[in-house]
Structure 1
Amino acid sequence: MTTQPKIIVLDDDPTGSQTVHSCLLLMNWDVETLKLGLTDASPIFFVLTNTRALTPEKAASVTREVCQNLKIAIAETQTQEFLVVSRSDSTLRGHYPIETDVIAEELGGFDAHFLTPAFFEGGRITQDSVHYLFIDGVKTPVHETEFARDSVFGYSTSYLPDYVAEKTQGRIPSEQVERFLLADIRAGSQERLKSLTNNQCCAVDGETQADLDQFAQDILTCAAQGKRFLFRSAASLLTSLAQLGPQPVPPEDMAQYERTHQPGVVLVGSHVQKTTQQLSQLLQEPGVAPVEVDVKRLRDNLSEKATLKQEILQQVHGVYQGGKNPVIYTSREELQFADIQQRLDFGIEVSSLLMEIVQGLPGDISFLISKGGITSNDVLSTGLGLRSARLLGQILPGCSMVITSEDHPQFPKLPVVLFPGNVGDAQGLATVYQRLTVQK
């Protein structure tokens, strides 16, 4: 029996833990906090860097800081074997190759880095090195979806070797990318993995969890023999690497984590089409009351922020006292900006307003559902001011639930759902809400 290497995940938004359970999510990355993750009983832990919301320069600097502190924490805890995962979006959006380059520079000596974007819970598979997304049952190359037109992270191809060449601006040519195809993975890849050197870039297929289970087994065997690997991955590979088995409480029974019999709160920040669809379904549920945040007022006049916050909190408390569950959501229209920087800056302002609203919520809410990756990250680190949180598991495929500590000053033992923007069917948000209000 080989020792299980510690799996260190640098997550560019807080939803990458969406296929595992019972591990720590770290919101801070000072040496002492990182040592909590390295010495925790779970084989895996997550550092929530939230770099997808940052500029390329800031993403690089945060990643560097995490890695430099990790080096110290690894030495101080005498962690011998570890794998590093740069967890990012299964639709190929994010700061690649910036993050993997920085990790390789700082934690150096990797034999290979693997692109493994398959995310089965979200309907993303990779075949013949082409990454697909199932949309209403139709297998669609990911470059033909709205995600490829992202104004910050757009791309023109779903063929991973060409994607690598495009994103590295030709530094890694397409033909130099090693392709691990389904047939290769299913036949076993150990000999090939052992021969990789010099941070070789590899694109990995995956059609089912069993494919990644097989690949992860080969990776772990080679890692135990001294090979050093880095991953740019979506969440499904983490399931295979961590080998945790089923979560303690099944998704449909997670209402038992509730702390009071009061209403809970839903916060919706994400703007992708799927979120808007899910929001409209949720608002038809009994017991909910809509509270819209008109963000256009903020764009047109930043000094409106304090007034807007007061108005929203007044509405929320009124709804709550009436025994209803407030659903706080940003207005849905797509606003136009002069450039990307303005859009990112405005996003930060909106998030800061939403976090002040979170801090002003009634102290005895029974749960909090946060919709959107960046919104969820900010809820944990800023809204709730957490250093770390324990992951309970998934309340819906691809949708994590964490719990705050018993000594949280405002919301002790509060169950918080981290719901990525582009996960779940049209009923997804309504289903999570039903699961958490089932006993009331």
Structure 2
Amino acid sequence: MQPKIIVLDDDPTGSQTVHSCLMLTRWDVDTLRVGLADASPLFFVLTNTRAMDAEQAAAVTWEVCHNLKEALQGFDRLVLYVSRSDSTLRGHYPVETDVMARVLGPFDAHFLIPAFFEGGRFTVRGIHYVRVGDKAVPAHETEFAKDSVFGYQHSYLPAYVEEKTHGRIRADEVVHFPLEEIRAGATYDKLMALNDNACCVVDAERQEDLNMFADEVLSAVEHGKRFLFRSAASWLTALTRLPPQPVPAERMGQYVKPGRAGIVVVGSHVKKTTEQLKRLLREPGIVPVEVDVELLPERSESLLAQVVEKVRQIHAAGDTPVVYTSRTERQFPDTATRLRFGEQVSAFLMSVVHALPPTIGYIVSKGGITSNDMLSKGLQLAAARIVGQILPGCSVVLTPPDHPHLPDMPVVIFPGNVGDEDALATVYNRLRTST
């Protein structure tokens, strides 16, 4: 029997390669049992820890894992645990995997598998690359490595591990699974020899590499090995081997109720998002609504009233408002201040969502943290089902039919760092085909 795959996702974008499964925004024991009982081979628990400091992330991860142990009592299937995080190496590693190992372990090994092919992220000879245009750039040379919270200096994953663990795990102790071994199908014995939570890094240049490695991993698990994974989304594709999604990407507009325009909410500040936003604003039927974050939090109330009224007027005219935060990057004295301000901005955007007209046809949520808050706070969902991807790396979920405000409505979970310049405009045009 296929193992049940439980994914602790530090934002809601890890579902970007799978479909027909649940995303849970709560992790009480009863809600976790809903995920375990669901027919899909996997489910996600959205922890949103990438928006937290390390101490908060550890506390939330511990709570999820503790409740999982209780929910799993009497569960008679093999279980695989995945700590899903960013394909550009940002996130609370090793904080989250350390907690998972303490509570859910012991494990024979944990694996770093950050490849995400739909987003142009791959690993060769232990070096993790990000495709920028037509160039493959080592991850430490990209803007993501300069992140003020999760910055790093190494693309060579063993060195990245040593850097992030502050030397607790040395680079020369990390076990490397190179492409040559994976493509030769020669990893089983090496997997079976792992013990004592060995740290491993995995090469992957294309999806077939991970598919082959997953076969060997699943065989080792069936023979008693216990593994933990820190991965991006493409590893989930390899583990689950789902059939094609029910509705093709180009026909996702059929989920939108006829004649209903939607709304686009943009919180992400990465360069790629800004480029996509500029392109979207040139589309017909699009009306910009900029939120000046310099006015937050002091003038939140008056600013909210202005934004809500603009959105109402634009929607009443049959157009699509694009609510986006001002693009200037603020400087902060420390990480805690930056995270706190991010929470204030996201809370403002969710207040806009709370005031949306009930005739809104769809929501496009741009940015990982924005999307997590969209599902858990803006729409107040305990669970939502992923129906598939509208673009590679961009999932669509449906609100439940009994949602009190916006039932049966598609919500696009659009990561900040995914897609080409036209991607946001493409999503808009695919959804508005029903209007």
TM over 0.5: yes
Aligned partner (choices 334, 337, 359) of residue 339 of structure 1: 334
Alignment partners' CA distance in 2, 1:330 and 1:197: 47
Give the aligned partner of residue 264 of structure 2: 266
Alignment partners' CA distance in 2, 1:243 and 1:323: 41
Report the CA distance between 1:185 and its aligned residue.
Answer: 0.7
Alignment partners' CA distance in 2, 1:422 and 1:317: 29
Give the aligned partner of residue 410 of structure 2: 415
Give the aligned partner of residue 172 of structure 2: 175
What whole-Å deviation, never above 9, does each CA across 1:10-44 have from its counterpart, x for those lacking one?
Answer: 00000000000000000000001101111110001
Contact 1:268/1:330 (8 A) holds in 2 = yes
Report the CA distance between 1:313 and its aligned residue.
Answer: 0.3
**Aligned-partner SS, 2:13:** coil
Report the CA distance between 1:260 and its aligned residue.
Answer: 4.2
What whole-Å deviation, never above 9, does each CA across 1:350-397 have from its counterpart, x for those lacking one?
Answer: 111100100000111110000000000000000000000000010000
Alignment partners' CA distance in 1, 2:210 and 2:218: 12
- The one-letter amino acid paired with 1:426 is E
Give the aligned partner of residue 25 of structure 1: 23
Alignment partners' CA distance in 1, 2:231 and 2:433: 35
Runs of 4+ in structure 1 displaced over 3 angstroms?
none
Contact 2:291/2:325 (8 A) holds in 1 = yes
Report the CA distance between 1:348 and its aligned residue.
Answer: 0.6
What whole-Å deviation, never above 9, does each CA across 1:115-140 have from its counterpart, x for those lacking one?
Answer: 00111000011000000011111011
- The one-letter amino acid paired with 2:27 is W
Give the aligned partner of residue 276 of structure 2: 278
Contact 1:38/1:79 (8 A) holds in 2 = no
Contact 1:177/1:201 (8 A) holds in 2 = yes
The alignment's C-alpha RMSD in Å is 0.8
Aligned partner (choices 302, 308, 311) of residue 313 of structure 1: 308
Alignment partners' CA distance in 1, 2:76 and 2:352: 40
Give the aligned partner of residue 158 of structure 2: 161
Map 1:39-438; keep pairs closer than 5 Å: 39-76=37-74, 78-188=75-185, 189-298=187-296, 302-438=297-433
Report the CA distance between 1:82 and its aligned residue.
Answer: 0.6
- The one-letter amino acid paired with 2:103 is E
**Aligned-partner SS, 1:86:** strand
- The one-letter amino acid paired with 2:101 is A
Report the CA distance between 1:5 and its aligned residue.
Answer: 0.4
Alignment partners' CA distance in 1, 2:428 and 2:82: 31
Report the CA distance between 1:343 and its aligned residue.
Answer: 1.1
What whole-Å deviation, never above 9, does each CA across 1:395-422 have from its counterpart, x for those lacking one?
Answer: 0000000001010000111100000000
TM-score, normalised with respect to structure 2: 0.99
Aligned partner (choices 7, 10, 26) of residue 8 of structure 2: 10
Alignment partners' CA distance in 2, 1:240 and 1:80: 19
Q: Decide which moves more: 182-191 or 311-320.
A: 182-191
Contact 1:260/1:365 (8 A) holds in 2 = no
Alignment partners' CA distance in 2, 1:362 and 1:283: 22
Contact 1:260/1:364 (8 A) holds in 2 = no
Alignment partners' CA distance in 1, 2:196 and 2:245: 37
**Number of aligned residue pairs:** 434
Report the CA distance between 1:91 and its aligned residue.
Answer: 0.4
Alignment partners' CA distance in 2, 1:434 and 1:232: 35
% identical equivalent positions:
59
Alignment partners' CA distance in 1, 2:292 and 2:2: 49
TM-score, normalised with respect to structure 1: 0.98
Report the CA distance between 1:303 and its aligned residue.
Answer: 3.3
Contact 2:256/2:434 (8 A) holds in 1 = no
What whole-Å deviation, never above 9, does each CA across 1:65-121 have from its counterpart, x for those lacking one?
Answer: 000000001114x14311100000000000000000000000011111000011100
Contact 2:260/2:434 (8 A) holds in 1 = no
Q: What residue ranges of structure 2 are gaps of 5+ in the alignment? A: none
Alignment partners' CA distance in 1, 2:431 and 2:383: 23
Contact 2:257/2:434 (8 A) holds in 1 = no
